[in-house]
Chain A
Amino acid sequence: MRFNQFSKSSGSGFIHGPSGDITPQAVYAQRRDWLKHMAAGAAGLSMAAWASREALAQTPSDVVVRPGKLAPLTGAVSRVSGANTMEKITTYADASSYNNFYEFGTDKSDPAKYAHTLQIKPWTVEVEGLVKKPGRFDLDALLKLSPMEERIYRLRCVEGWSMVIPWVGYSLAELIKRVEPLGSAKYVEFITQADPKTMPGVRSRVLDWPYVEGLRMDEAMHPLTLLSFGMYGEVLPNQNGAPVRLVVPWKYGFKSAKSLVKIRFVEKQPVNSWGRSAPQEYGFYSNVNPNVNHPRWSQATERRIGEDGLFAKKRKTLMFNGYEAQVGQLYTGMDLSKLY
């Protein structure tokens, strides 16, 4: 299945949808990069990772079904530890119709209804602050910056539901290394699009706009922290944070800022939007933690969307959303009940 995706790029190409969905040039370029990688033997390694995943595969999660709605954007199976959960993948229909994106309304069905107005062309991401090489990256440049990987992550929302989503992107660390942060840069702040003309929710006063998130430098540099451009083998749908977003799988979903326009390197811990709005409920770290309850509900369990039956018991939430082996050491010595 995956192999076909690569071999197709050298042959007849993908089956294209309407003209508006034609693969962007950057993606073609990406595929050419891929051919080069394969020729160079780099593919051997990723194929090995793919094969090992295949060998373990017992569920349909091995096959990412492309919904065929948007331009294809595929990636090699990631070799990053923890980046390929074997759990059953949530359907694209659920993942693209049920999420929070307050810029389009407060209801979880609002983003899918209203995000079609989001303008993603042209799109630039400004990198600024305490770095040697600040600059503006247009989307094509970002798409070409590093080879795309497919990563199947659990996503745990602070509201108590979860999904398993195959993202496409590369480690944020790749971008960070390019811009060479200064020694004084201790945190990374992510600023997202806030255009009242195309994002109806921004006209409401639910939150202070733009939506801001932040990570400590070592969190941002962690290989699991993903700069994502696609999901389910296609570019991101608008409602899921097109054209480029963050995915931090061991933290509650709201930490994974969508539709990024600015990445700023700073010395002091940034104030994130939810932390500003309700500091007693949402901490800066917001690591998934079954032992620290939200004031109004327990975080000990979660409901996996589309999988657990209506009357099934909710499943136990895992420390760091099951990524403790990979990220636990980032928090050694910290009191996570205080620094939640």
Chain B
Amino acid sequence: MKLVFRQALQHRSAKPVLWLLCLLPFAWLVWGAANDALGANPAEYLIRATGDWTLRLLCLTLAVTPLRVMFGLPELARLRRLLGLFTYFYVVLHALCYSWLDMGFEWGEVAADIAKRPFILVGFSAFVLLTQLALTSFNRAIRWLGAKRWQWLHRLVYVVAVLAVLHFFWMRAGKSNFAEVFVYASVILALLAWRAVHSSLWRHLFSSGGFTR
């Protein structure tokens, strides 16, 4: 069973299939907007749905390494960048929907909004950080930056994850509606906790008795 799964992951159509899967939400949103199928407030629907899909893909991206290690599926590694870039794709749509549908591309107002509201500032910061990761996501960037520096830079994704959940939490705070926030926060917390436990730093501290000294 596992063998079949691994073979599927290795198959050359694995990436194209994942591509299509990642584009499905986008296709639905475009179709829905064109056919008036997004409810009474399509602008709000688009802004929220693109934010939701950013969070979901961020969780999936962060889940790649834990799943790879836990289930012994090295093939998963080559799908990680694809998921990461689709996370960026949806956050770009999210920012675009906000600036366009909510702010009418009035950049002065957008800037004022970012400065005035912590909830927007947090979301904007996450977007800026993700942009850097997306810009340095190609192979040659690793060579240019050096593997170590590149890795440190890309650890910013953990900061992005925390900011993203905070942004979502703040958005829902005024309406005391935390059920979904709790779900995303738990998933991200679990994925970050797994990393903390498995990090070399942690192991180093343990094996050398770093805590007792």
Contact = CB atoms under 8 A, between A and B. Distances in A.
A297 B117 contact: yes
Interface string A308-336: 00110110000000000000000000000
A310 B104 CA distance: 10
A206 interface: yes
Contact of B176 (A108, A207, A310, A314): A207
The DSSP consensus for interface residues of chain B is: helix
Interface residues of A, number: 26
A277 B176 contact: yes
Interface stretch (B55-63, B145-153, B167-175): B167-175
A297 B175 CA distance: 13
A218 interface: no
Contacts of B175: 106, 206
Interface string B14-53: 0000000000000000000100000111111010000000
Contact of A296 (B44, B100, B171, B177): B171
B117 A206 contact: no
A94 interface: yes
Contact of A298 (B43, B44, B113, B170): B113
Interface in B95-114: 100-102, 104, 113
B41 A98 contact: yes
Chain B contact patch, size range = 20 to 34
Given A296-B170, A297-B117, A310 B177 contact: no
Interface in A57-114: 93-94, 97-98, 106, 108-109
A28 interface: no
A293 B174 CA distance: 13
Given A98-B41, A305-B41, A311-B101, 19 more contacts: A97-B39, A106-B177, A106-B179, A109-B39, A161-B41, A277-B176, A293-B116, A294-B174, A295-B174, A296-B119, A297-B117, A298-B113, A303-B43, A303-B44, A305-B40, A306-B40, A310-B33, A310-B46, A314-B102
Interface of B: 33, 39-44, 46, 100-102, 104, 113, 116-117, 119, 170-171, 173-177, 179
